[in-house]
Amino acid sequence: MKFKDLAAYLDKLEKTPSRNEITIILSELFKVAEKKEIDKIVYLVLGSLAPNYQGVVLNLAEKMMVRAIAKAYNKDDDSVMKLYKEKGDIGNVAQALSKNIDSKFEVSEIFNELLIIANESGEKSQDKKLDLMAELLNGLDSLSARFIARIPIGRLRLGFSEKTIIDALSLMDRGDKSASVEIESAYNVMSDIGKLAQVVKEKGTRGLSKNIKPEVGIPIAPMLAARLKSTSEMIKKMGTVSVEPKYDGLRIFIHYKKKPEFIRIYTRNMNFIDNSVFPELSSVGKYIKADEVILDTEAVGVDEKREEILDFQKTIQRRRKHNIGQASKDIPLQFQVFDILLKDGKSLINTPYIERREVLDKTVVNGSLLKVDEHTVTDDPEVIKKLHEKYTKVGLEGVIVKKINGFYVSGRTGWNWVKMKEKEESDGRLSDTIDCVIMGFTVGKGKRVGFGVGQFLAGVVDGEEIKSITKVGTGLTDEQFKNLSLRLRKIISKEKPKEYNVHKDLYPDYWVLPKVIVELAADEITKSPKHTAGLALRFPRLIKFRDDKNMGQATTIKELQDLLKINWQRIVKGRT
């Protein structure tokens, strides 16, 4: 496919507000794509060059792209920057300045050129990247230049994610969305959406079960715990369960292969963490009795003098990339291992949990580095309560309750894993925290003007949309306001992101990209005529930043309904 033809599809997608129409356009694009290029097309329509876990980025910020455009079209930097401020979109600037030529490049050629730019490293690499990008833009038609210029700064402005790609692949193969659940399940096991598209293109959705299996080096989407109100309800829904301590640490997946030795570490977001961040794991092979494994763990900081577990905010400091050596001394880690997903080439995700535990116990050697979580099998609600009290008294979050015959199912699916809530509350009371996406912020007045942020707008997930649920402007310390300002000003969007659904009366001063996740508590949740989630948080307050989570792991509207068991007829209409 010619890249200019792909650009025409991208133009249609940008102009289409309907999610169903976007899915149809994508399915048409995938039908005409060749087998050898569909993976590249999928990456490009998502504004990337590879799956997220591979960390392939062009590393050209806005100012660098302004310089590249100026060089491509023989303009001075200041005039291009002025035009950028007027148009508010780097792609529109490139399109306005580009030549009216008929470019003949294939998609694969453009993709490979972008990869070359991304892989430039070493001395004067930024200058080389700039020169290569300018050369690439100079040879493109106007429409192609618009989209290529947007990719480096991560603002393709199409407003969809992998979920829409999955629906489009189903539509391509089956003529409807009937295979979407099947494709999504495969994606959760092998999180390379481009490779997945190739499999569907070549073998159809019915070929997924034979061709998609867990593999060391490719992250698996984590299984997440749902929430229930009472221990009696847990036993009623789950039957016999395994009760385990819930640690407040970093969710870490350890991928290990003995020969040749291979260690990869992934977060719950399926992002790769450089091995140097956790030097402790360089010796992980000593504690594993297998040739290859994938382990699901919680990394927790340890105060060795007091012999106690550190809290999340202290533990997460270990993810910083500076002073790693000192950090590993100040905050030593141990890895609480609670599941095993692959052993010696055999997938365990469709093995009942109690059997996975048996394999885990035989595979991991308990020591100072890896510790297999203790667990208690029971069908007695009172046992769960007592264990919850036991673990909270020693500073842990409580318990995770797991269905003993449940499979490893990515996401919050069914009642396989359940969190124990701190206490039971009446309908309408928010007794648990929720994870929200910051959508934008308002500067504020008085003292807060100095911070740069007075309040922020937060939302929850509904399919591929983010819908507002609250504004938060109280309960933050001065330090949190300053930290928030630093984070948000790096991701300001000149226009409302396409996936945001917000009532006009609630528009903030500045929109931001959906990059920052915060954990919020509130006194109550009420109906709302203004917030597009249909709900509002009363007296919301910031608990902490969730740097270990992304938009895909924010709380959903459905989860709120399941969590609260809201009696819609009895909730008193609240203020927005």
Length of the chain: 576
Whether residue 149 is predicted with pLDDT greater than 70 in this model: the reply is yes
Whole-angstrom CA distances from 92 to 2, 122, 348, 381, 511 are 21, 31, 49, 61, 19
Residues 154-169 as b or e (16 or more Cβ within 10 Å = b): ebbbbbbbbbbbbbbb
CB 169 within 8 A of CB 183: yes
Closest CA to 316 of 303, 327, 308: 327
pLDDT for the residue 325: 55
Please report, for residues 188, 225, 287, 343, 466, the alpha-carbon distance to residue 165 in angstroms, rounded to integers and kept in the order given. 14, 26, 40, 31, 18
Instruction: Say which amino acid occupies 424.
Output: E
Residue 286 DSSP code = G
> Taking residues 299-327, what's their average pLDDT?
61
Instruction: State the average pLDDT over residues 149-171.
Output: 90
Q: Give the pLDDT band of residue 324 (cuts 50, 70, 90).
A: low
What pLDDT was estimated at residue 196? 94
Single out the residue of 434, 264, 231, 423 nearest to residue 342, CA to CA.
264
Radius of gyration from C-alpha coordinates of the chain: 25
Q: How far is CA 413 from CA 27, 225, 406, 464, in A?
A: 27, 8, 11, 18
Rounded-to-integer distance, Cα 472 and Cα 436, Å: 11
Q: What is the pLDDT of residue 99?
A: 84
pLDDT surpassing 50 at residue 572: no
Q: What is the mean pLDDT of residues 531-556?
A: 87
Residues 124 and 114: their CA atoms lie apart, in Å, by 18
pLDDT at 337 over 80: yes
pTM, rounded to two decimals:
0.79
Please give the pLDDT value at position 292.
Answer: 97
pLDDT digits (tens, 9 = 90+) for 1-60: 999 999 999 999 999 988 899 999 999 999 999 999 999 999 999 999 999 888 888 888
pLDDT value of residue 289: 96
Residue 45, class by beta-carbon neighbours within 10 Å (0-12 exposed, 13-18 middle, 19+ buried)?
A: buried
Averaged pLDDT, 330-351: 92
Spot the catalytic one: 246, 371, 403, 419: 246
- The fraction of the chain above a pLDDT of 70, given in percent, is 89
User: pLDDT at residue 187 above 80?
Assistant: yes
Q: 223: Cβ–Cβ under 8 A, 6 or more apart, which residues?
A: 296, 339, 408, 409, 410, 411, 416, 417
Q: Where are the domains of the chain?
A: 3-153, 226-420, 434-564
- Rounded to whole angstroms, how far apart are CA atoms 213 and 107? 29
Average pLDDT of span 140-162: 90
pLDDT for residue 295: 97
Instruction: For residue 534, give Cα distances in angstroms to 18, 320, 464, 484, 502.
Output: 21, 38, 16, 26, 11
For the chain, the 3-state helix, strand and coil shares in percent, each to the nearest 5, are 40, 20, 35
- pLDDT for position 352: 97
Q: Which CATH class is domain 226-420?
A: alpha beta
* Residue (of 450, 429, 428, 454) closest to 441 by Cα position: 454
The pLDDT score that the predictor gives to residue 568 is: 39
Q: Looking at per-residue confidence, does 323 or 95 come out higher?
A: 95
* Whole-number pLDDT of residue 61: 86
Q: What is the average pLDDT value for the chain, to the nearest integer?
A: 87
Q: With b meaning 16 or more CB within 10 Å and e meaning fewer, what string describes 487-510?
A: bbeeeebeeebbbbbbeeebbbeb
- Note the CATH number of domain 3-153: 1.10.3260.10
Of 6-20, 337-351, 405-419, least confident by mean pLDDT is 405-419
Region 156-176: mean pLDDT is 91
Instruction: Compute the average pLDDT of residues 175-179.
Output: 94
Share of the chain above pLDDT 90, in %: 59
What pLDDT score does 483 carry?
Answer: 87
Quickly state the pLDDT bin for 312 (edges 50, 70, 90). Answer: low
Pairwise CA distance, residues 181 & 413, whole Å: 12
Span 389-407, average pLDDT: 92
Average pLDDT on 431-452 reads 79
Fold observed for domain 434-564:
OB fold (Dihydrolipoamide Acetyltransferase, E2P) (2.40.50)
- What is the C-alpha to C-alpha distance for residues 264 and 293, in angstroms, rounded to an integer? 11
DSSP string, 48-61: -SS-GGG-------
Distance CA 160, CA 176 (A): 18
Is 99 designated active site? no
